[in-house]
Structure 1
Amino acid sequence: MLTSRISQSCRVTSQNVFRRFQSAQARLAESSIESMREENIFTEEHIALRQSLRKIIENEINPHVEQWENEKMFPAHRVMKILGSNGFLGVNKPVEYGGLGLDFSYSIAVAEELGNIDCGGIPMAIGVQTDMATPALARFGSDELRKHFLAPTISGDYVACLGVSEPGAGSDVANITTTAVKDGDDFIINGAKMWITSGTQADWMCLLANTGGEKAFFNKSLICLPLDTKGVDRTTKIEKIGMHSSDTAQVFFEDVRIPQKYLIGDEGQGFTYQMLQFQEERLFGVASVLLGLEKCIAYTIDYCRERKIFGKPILDNQVVHFRMAELATEIELLRSVLYRTVGKFLDGQDVTKRASMAKLKGGRLCREVSDSCLQYLGGSGFTHNPVSRTFRDGRLGSIGGGADEVMLSIICKYMGTLPGRKK
């Protein structure tokens, strides 16, 4: 009897925890919309797009997040089809392949709204579909290739993944060892890819492989690889400390034969194409964490206002409310850097340095905000709640898509401060 009452009490407490989080979420969504109105790169059309996406998130995604987190996988085809049918998987992709034909600022508006999803794994997988595996295909792929792979990815009929990292080459992209050797009209692919988001469910992979030549930056190509091809093994699912609802796999290739016409753009330009894709990936990643970090702060404020210690609310302690103000300021500054960078990107400027700065700061803020908020929740912070989930999910921000150290190296390169380089 006592055990039953305790179990019921725990379930009620858990429900209250996430109800408090959803209340904070609603307040912040409107605040985020007002921030967009203040920026000259956003219009009422951007806002309308976000509001439409929010309804889908509230009705089709968030009600199932707890189940998908527990199952360690969300149904990628089902979710992508819902988003694709409503135009959210090809916002800035060509109209002739099912996209909306809008500029990149609309993708950023969508990415920021995805922060309303109650976990990090699902926005990350959506970002792979829209801004990591498909930009090069949309920009450089042949008409035949885009009809075969891009169009069904935009519609949500295909799930896409990106194959760059390997067991022995993550941040060091130039040293990947997967090969695609010509044999008649085909490529024969051998090697392995690591940390592949949606790897167990994806229909095809945007694969970076060595296609010949001595120079590391000019011997790589991007290839569309159907994952049901003979010789592809993706049975090795990777368990992670966070991003639970997103499946991650190690994928092996043994004498995988595909047509050479599946090559994206020019042979030997894969490294360059991938570097271009990285910029969109990093900006997407920054945009997608903003609301989650703000929700962490809002949730913590509500909790610390209700929870008392030594006869007064925790929030009344200056160290607590000053810290919340400081973190909120940091997030708003990150949003400003993001919007400014997007503005320059739309003008055709090289934003590598600024995108790297934003990505660096975004990853570190994910750690800083969630760690501070978790601390102020005390023992509750070490239990299952939105803040501890953000703590687990957000830690990937300083690793995936280029580790902090890689971002610092890129920034140093542009500043001319690397050893042996002149400004």
Structure 2
Amino acid sequence: MYFTDAHEELRLHIRRFLEKEVQPHLEEWEEKTFPDSIFQRLGELGFLGLRYPPEYGGQGGDYFSAVVLSEEMARAGSGGLGMAVAVQTEMATPPVFKFGTEEQKRRWLAPAIRGEQIASIAITEPDAGSDVAGITTTARRFGDEYIVNGRKTFITNGARCHWALVVTKSERERGHAGYNLLVIEKGTPGFEVTRTLKKLGMHSSDTAELLFDDCHVPAANLIGEEGDGFKNLMWELQGERMITAAGAIAGATRVFEYTMEYAKNRQAFGQPIAGFQVIKHKLVDMGTKIASAQAFVYQTAKQWDEGEYPVRDISQAKLLATQVACEVADDAIQILGGHGYMREFPVERAWRDARLARIGAGTDEIMKEIIAKSYGL
């Protein structure tokens, strides 16, 4: 219904790559992050441009091609790498493709698809997370350039990126008309990575704080029309939430399958623990939650792929899928007991990695506010 033979062939291609070139290094990368060269390798294989047109180096696929990549990344067991790749393919580059000029696409999109450039998107600030209207990073226009001042935090790929898509606000205007999206390249005077952050999960990815101190950015780096930044950002966030939901459910599926196999083999009181009603019913609940959430995610992804803008459905899919992922990971740890709490078992990392999805791209609480508003509440 959603995946064609071509999608399944792509899935196998991605899975083989991950099994050969990623999974053997996961433990090492969890300790010190993955190497930048992985982006180059992904670009060589065409995985960074699955749904972009061939004229920019892409594969010309549909949105479900991106879903396949997200699912296989999640099933490989490295939430950090999957998140970093999703930032590149589904968060930072889509606005450049949709709203950028031809010159901008050639300058930033095409190299990102090839894996020659690593991209990030900078929205969150130390004092403004869910409250996008509260951002204070300013971009004042002087002639043919902007002068940018402010700080951004929790930026995935921030330490390694070649450029960041930065959400800024004009000092001269208020309301939604005062926002702009600017590409700011690493090496621009005044652009500094002030520190990298240690976090609960997603250890293989880098997360950074960025400083812009009288950073002079060419006006040619403006993505979209002047003052359209807020509207364009809201569009970007729909795609970000959609891919987050897809990855969350794929990760939950992996945890469920592992836990079910463990329960069939783990002996207690003279029998496999899967034979105890309390365990088998817990597994049934896990599988049922995943199946229902996955069906809704796919249905919503189909709407997005067909050009619809289903804000309520996307918000509900993201809310449901990420909650299910956390619940499944928690149940898995309970079933594994002490083993589930140990680093040598994969459910421990899955539990840590899953938690971020209920915060990033819009918290559970923000999703509920959006959904409530759509109901007229």
Q: Kindly indicate whether the alpha-carbon contact (under 8 Å) linking 1:363 and 1:398 is maintained by their aligned counterparts in 2.
A: yes
CA contact 1:211–1:267 (8 Å) conserved in 2: no
Q: Which residue of 1 aligns with 2:41?
A: 82
CA distance in 1, matches of 2:110, 2:326: 37
Residue 138 of structure 1, CA deviation: 0.2
User: Within 5 Å, which residues of 2 pair with 1:319-334?
Assistant: 319-334=278-293
- Counterpart residue identity of residue 403, structure 1: T
SS of corresponding position for 1:177: coil
* Residue 96 (1) aligns with residue 65 (2): no
1:398 aligned onto 2:369: no
Superposition pairs of residues 104-123 of structure 1, within 5 angstroms:
104-123=63-82
Amino acid in structure 1 at the alignment position of 2:24: P
Q: Give CA-to-partner distance per residue, 1:354-384, whole Å, 9 cap, x none.
A: 1110100111112100111101111111111
| Structure 1 residue 214 displacement after superposition | 3.1
- State the SS of the aligned residue for 1:201: coil
In the alignment, is residue 389 of structure 1 matched against residue 342 of structure 2?
A: no
Q: Which residue among 4, 28, 52 is the counterpart of 1:67? A: 28
With 266-275 and 85-94 compared, the bigger mean Cα shift is at 85-94
Query: Counterparts in 2 of 1:209-220, with a 5 A limit?
Result: 209-220=168-179
Unaligned runs of at least 5 residues, structure 1:
1-38, 418-423
State the Cα deviation string for residues 58-80 of structure 1 (Å, max 9, x = none).
Answer: 11111111100022x111x3111
1:318 matched to 2:277 = yes
Contact 2:319 2:358 in 1 (8 A): yes
1:414 alignment counterpart: 374
Name the residue aligned to 1:46. Answer: 7
- Alignment partners' CA distance in 1, 2:103 and 2:128: 31
Q: Structure 2 matches for 1:176-215, cutoff 5 A?
A: 176-215=135-174
For residues 266 and 366 of structure 1, what CA distance do their matches in structure 2 show?
38
**Quick one: distance in 2 between partners of 1:380 and 1:343?**
39
Distance 2:194 2:124 in 1: 17
Residue 377 of structure 1: which of 316, 332, 336 is its match? 336
* 8 Å contact kept, 2:77–2:350: no
Post-superposition offset of 1:212:
4.6
2:210 to 251, 256, 261: 251
Indicate conservation of the 8 Å contact 2:117/2:161, yes or no: yes
Q: Which residue of 2 aligns with 1:304?
A: 263
Larger radius of gyration: 1
1:234 aligns with 2:190: no
* Larger mean Cα displacement after TM superposition, 95-104 or 125-134: 95-104
Task: Tell whether the 8 Å contact from 2:297 to 2:321 is kept in structure 1 after alignment.
Answer: no
Which residue is equivalent to 1:364?
Answer: 323
Residue equivalent to 1:152: 111
Q: TM-score, normalised by structure 2?
A: 0.97
* Pair 1:131-2:90 in alignment: yes
2:216 is paired with a residue whose SS is strand
Q: Deviation at 1:306? A: 2.6
Q: Distance in 2 between matches of 1:294 and 1:106?
A: 19
Root-mean-square deviation over aligned CA pairs? 1.3
Residues 180 and 209 in structure 1, CA contact (< 8 A), matched pair in contact too: yes
- Kept after mapping to 2: 8 A contact 1:362/1:397: no
CA deviation vs aligned residue, 1:14-37 (integer Å, no higher than 9, x gap)? xxxxxxxxxxxxxxxxxxxxxxxx
Please give the alpha-carbon distance, in whole angstroms, between the structure 1 residues aligned to 2:196 and 2:134. 24
**CA contact 1:167–1:194 (8 Å) conserved in 2:** yes
Quote how far apart the aligned CAs of 1:213 are: 4.3
Q: Match of 1:28?
A: none
1:342 corresponds to which of 301, 305, 317: 301
Moved more, 207-216 or 347-356: 207-216
Whether the 8 Å CA contact 1:111–1:288 is kept in 2: the answer is yes
Q: Report Cα offsets for 1:228-265 as digits up to 9, x if no partner.
A: 21111213111001110001001111011111000001
Which letter does structure 2 place at the counterpart of 1:400? G
Moved more, 165-174 or 88-97: 88-97
Whole-angstrom distance in 2 between the partners of 1:303 and 1:315: 8
Aligned length: 376
Structure 1 residue runs of 4 or more that deviate by more than 6 Å after TM superposition? none
Question: CA–CA distance in 1 between the matches of 2:267 and 2:76?
Answer: 30
SS of residue paired to 2:194: strand
Are the structure 2 counterparts of residues 89 and 197 from structure 1 closer, same or farther at C-alpha, using a change threshold of 3 Å?
same
Q: Which amino acid aligns with 1:50?
A: R
Distance 1:382 1:61 in 2: 24
Kept in 2: contact 1:178–1:209 (CA 8 A):
yes
Q: How far apart, CA to CA, are the structure 1 residues paired with 2:46 and 2:171? A: 38
**Alpha-carbon distance, 1:206 to partner:** 0.6
- TM superposition shift of 1:146: 1.1
Which consecutive unaligned segments of at least 5 residues does structure 2 have?
Answer: none
SS in 1 for 2:192: strand
